Structure 1
């Protein structure tokens, strides 16, 4: 079994994001900001490793990242968690000095090429969304491009003895169970928050990860190898018009007792 796990490097979830005024209110500050693996991608890596540990036959987990040189560090984290090898499609800085910010369509197009290039991929596990753009489109676009079965927002994933995948997915009205037949692989599954709790890489595994192979290939070389059109891969299907911080909250008002509170609420029309 071969599992492909695309991962993304984002601003660490614990960091307070600030708007970068030098970008015309169209971006956030990235200089000297802690970056880490997207939390949903961590869940996908963890689930891939668990499926590998459960399988009775040989299995391989391949982590894939598309982005600047620093994405290698993110791949090493995935390798320290238990992935077997990594593939880094490196993007270069543009004329402004910013790294190319690819959108879901371009990412999914490249991932389709990687799946076909690898061959024998049984499963592609992705986070349901990234915490920076919050698009949540890459997994579904990839399934469409591959004409592959998909299950989104997975809260539980099991692999049957016949090679099928049974997925419990969260919906607005409850839980839905989907079975993906082995004859239709590769399957595309996007991971939700409650699927698992990612492990912390141990120091021995961090040291071992330094020796695991990571193939680095430039975006241009990969596009040429896959026979794609670079302009199409980099094309922007939508545009961020403005990024702004939420307005500061107004200071609270202290009241002496419940009756005064009710009077204030009635005054503001919040209660009848």
Structure 2
């Protein structure tokens, strides 16, 4: 008489095709996760990045920076709307770095890529499930081995020494089929990681395009550049003052 848990495991794995059915279920779960993540995570993020890039691409005229500054209230409203959390927070950070210049344009002290976090949550969720797939396959495999060992022990006890060889052969045959769940778990993990890598590359390409467009619409003015420009202006002012003093000193000397 076995405990209820062992009896349940033996009952589930006693069917010859149980392991193959579970292996198929693991692969079906991996495929379902790919479609679920693509529909609810990847596709909305991809479409949102494409819409933002299209919005900046609509800025016409020879001077994109001027057009961006003039249309900034409308652009800010659309880029600051509901979107992926990484895009919302990124735009809030980037917007806080923008400052008006004297010629009616906008300047930023950082690049867009420094303000936005990488929106790779679709890939990270698939990678998390990829790790879990291997664990699921191993757990089911070990449960199948437990069931096979339990059945083999019962057969030896019923048949005695004469049935030991038959019981061991049955154990090996049953245990071999249980490893299909581990194979399915590893295969599902590989598929999920490949899809995650491909989607991450696609999102990174869209992000790079959007960031390049955004950087092209503003003037890049890091603190170091601003300080150098201020030093150059001060140097010119000092030179002009020195020339003015020299020009004033010449008439005074001629009168003396």
Same fold (TM over 0.5): no
Q: How high is the TM-score relative to the length of structure 1? A: 0.23
| Structure with the greater alpha carbon radius of gyration | 2
Q: How high is the TM-score relative to the length of structure 2? A: 0.24
Greater fraction strand: 1
Greater fraction helix: 2
